[in-house]
Amino acid sequence: MSQLSASVMKKIDLELEKYPLDQKRSAVMAALQFVQAEKGWLSDDSISLVANYLDLPEIAVMEVATFYNMYDLKPVGKYKISICTNISCALRGVDEMVNHIQKSLNIKFNQVSDNGRFCLKESECMGNCDAAPMITINNEKMYEKLTPESFDRLIKELK
Amino acid sequence: MPDEILAPEQIQKKVFPLCLRTKDLKNPASLATYLSIGGYQAITKILKEQISPQQLIDEIKLSGLRGRGGAGFPTGLKWSFMPKDIKGDKYIVCNSDEGEPGTFKDRDIIRYNPHQIIEGMLIGAYIMGANRGYNYIHGEIWQEYLSFHEATREARKAGYLGNKILKSDFNFDLHAVHGYGAYICGEETALIESIEGKKGQPRFKPPFPATHGIYGRPTNVNNTETYASIPWIINHGGQAFSDLGVANAGGTKIFSVSGHVNKPGNYEIEMGMPFSELLELAGGVWKGRELKAVIPGGPSTALVPAESIMQATMDYDGLAKIGSSLGAGSLIVMDQTTCMVQTLKRLSYFFYEESCGQCTPCREGTGWVYRVIKRIVDGQGRSEDLALLKDVSNKISGRTICALGDAAAVPVLSFIKHFENEFQYFIQHKKSMMGQQNA
């Protein structure tokens, strides 16, 4: 079994400082986020390593990883595109945007493109509804008020 | 006249940036900017003059401030529930897990005025005797999580957080923590579970968080906008805050306006402004179309047709009068072309997807509701489907640990109540009454 990287361990240690000493479990949400940001997704191996580092049963970590939608338990390519399709985005034409994205990347929801670069995920409300339609890339960066043209430009820049 | 209720056109209410008062300044989120507008003066005065917690609670009660996250519980009263004589750690939590569709006000407070949240939490911690605090931020707004973390570092460095704050005996530290994609964590006990590093499944109450919260310790959870309102109340007095609003709804409120308007965005106004004026602030209905209906407080509040909401004022009682509620102040505006059946399908999918799975009526019922609406949209609706939808919704409501079950029933019942003809049409003709346009 491999190890957590030094930088992830350092980040988890800093996160632990937010909680009482005997409450290491509280850092699990952040720990999984750190690992995912580094590896792109959460393998069974990564789950075990986080469990081991925080002295938790693996199932406790797996429960969290499966409950929260932004963790990925399968590879999602280099760029995971999450698009909110909830009501405020739907009212402002997200369906057309989804069609455009699926056509231009030749993938459907939850699929990874053949070149391994893109994955498209459907998301619930991101709390950014005045910027509809919108996406996030790899859970961190938001791209707002999308049009087919601005999306195409973005994809070119990412390539 | 026995009852002096003013007609909407007689009420003069205006835009009043209170939580968002730094928004138009340079570097709005910085400590320097917050200090330049009198920031941290309230907590400084409290610590210097040793103002008693009871006196502060009385001021907050007088202000008429009610929880801004959706439940509208009086804040002063809630803060008085925190036990005073228990030793050891006590927690306060700011709930910035803003996942109710159409809500994006807390995002802007964090983005533009994080120090006002921190000062509000400092005052809350002082009043309730809390030594530890967290701001739990919606995982989707990652940049705001990072920037709030930065604001806490800045405040700690300047002596506003940590031990012996401003050289007093008051200790309080505050950290940014985050969700990672679970609507249910906006429910306070689910949020507490999440902070403990668990699945966000709500706890049965009682016991309430005030006695058994994070790690079983006394805990108080309040919404971001609630905390951000506190410093103003302490600086200007409860009466001044109350005077900004109307009866039963003191102060200002940020309304997030989204959907079919020309200028979607956050509008911070005095409580009690007529809806029609708020709609004007948001640029009116887009594309020159007519208003069809509005969800006034997020999908957990009942949809209302245009003719009712155009007569309503934006406050708790004003919206209760037309059969809905203020919720989190998230207005979702729909124009005349909107297909109510397809819109309800999307909302039902949301509640189905976000049900935590703990209570059977919600876990199973939200799935039933979604599948029945989906089959109507797919052209396979049956004549008995509307009765079935109402029946299932009524059987979820009131039978679950938390309010998500009740919330899931609200759109189904209110959409069918006001637009039953559209549902009937869809079932009979296997297509939308509104034509091909997508919802």
Of A28, A90, A91, the CB nearest to B197: A28
Rounded to whole angstroms, the Cα distance separating B75 from B79 reads 6
Read off the pLDDT band of B7 (50, 70, 90).
low
Residue ranges in chain A whose pLDDT is less than 50: none
- The residues in B 159-178 lying below 8 A from A, measured between CB atoms, are 175, 177-178
pTM beyond 0.80: the answer is yes
Cβ neighbors of A17 (< 8 A, separation 6 or more) are: none
Mean per-residue pLDDT, B283-295:
97
Interface check for B334 against chain A (CB to CB < 8 A): the answer is yes
Helix orientation angle between B41-49 and B224-236, rounded to the nearest 10 degrees: 60
Residue of B nearest to A124 (CA): B350
Sheet holding B132-137, edge to edge: B173-178, B132-137, B91-96, B219-223
Using an 8 Å Cβ cutoff, are B392 and B398 in contact?
no
Residue bearing tokens 């920031």: B39
- The residues in B 201-230 lying below 8 A from A, measured between CB atoms, are 215
- What does the H/E/C string look like for B51-106? CCHHHHHHHHHHHCCECCCCCCCEHHHHHHCCCCCCCCCCEEEEEECCCCCCCCHH
- Paired strand residues for B333: B259, B294
Of B98, B197, B265, the CB nearest to A127: B98
- Paired strand residues for B18: none
State the average pLDDT for chain B: 95
DSSP letter at B238 equals H
Q: In the predicted model, is pLDDT for residue B437 greater than 70?
A: no
- Is A125 strand, coil or helix? coil
Cβ neighbors of B175 (< 8 A, separation 6 or more) are: A18, B133, B134, B135, B149, B152
pLDDT in tens, B95-121: 999 999 999 999 999 999 999 999 999
Rounded to whole angstroms, the Cα distance separating A136 from A83 reads 7
* pLDDT of res. B3: 45
DSSP letter at A26 equals G
Write out the E strands in B149-297. 173-178, 219-223, 252-259, 265-270, 291-295
Read off the pLDDT band of B85 (50, 70, 90).
confident
Q: In the predicted model, is pLDDT for residue B267 greater than 50?
A: yes
Cβ neighbors of B419 (< 8 A, separation 6 or more) are: B293, B305, B340
Using an 8 Å Cβ cutoff, are B240 and B59 in contact?
no
- Paired strand residues for B66: B74
Read off the pLDDT band of B5 (50, 70, 90).
low
Read off the pLDDT band of B2 (50, 70, 90).
very low
Burial of B83 (C-beta count, 10 Å sphere; 0-12/13-18/19+): exposed
Residue bearing tokens 């079919």: B260
Q: Report the run of H or E that residue B374 belongs to, with start and end.
A: helix B360-377
pLDDT in tens, B19-69: 999 999 999 999 999 999 999 999 999 999 999 999 999 999 999 999 999
Mean per-residue pLDDT, B356-374:
97
Interface check for B419 against chain A (CB to CB < 8 A): the answer is no
Q: Report the run of H or E that residue B119 belongs to, with start and end.
A: helix B114-128
Residue of B nearest to A140 (CA): B142
With a pLDDT cut of 90, the percent of chain B lying above it is: 95
pLDDT in tens, B180-200: 999 999 999 999 999 999 999
Strand B132-137 and strand B91-96: the pairing is parallel
pLDDT in tens, A48-88: 999 999 999 999 999 999 999 999 999 999 999 999 999 99
Rounded to whole angstroms, the Cα distance separating B436 from B433 reads 9
Among the listed residues B156, B197, B159, B190, the one whose alpha carbon sits nearest the alpha carbon of residue B175: B156
* pLDDT of res. B439: 42
Residue bearing tokens 């530890």: B132
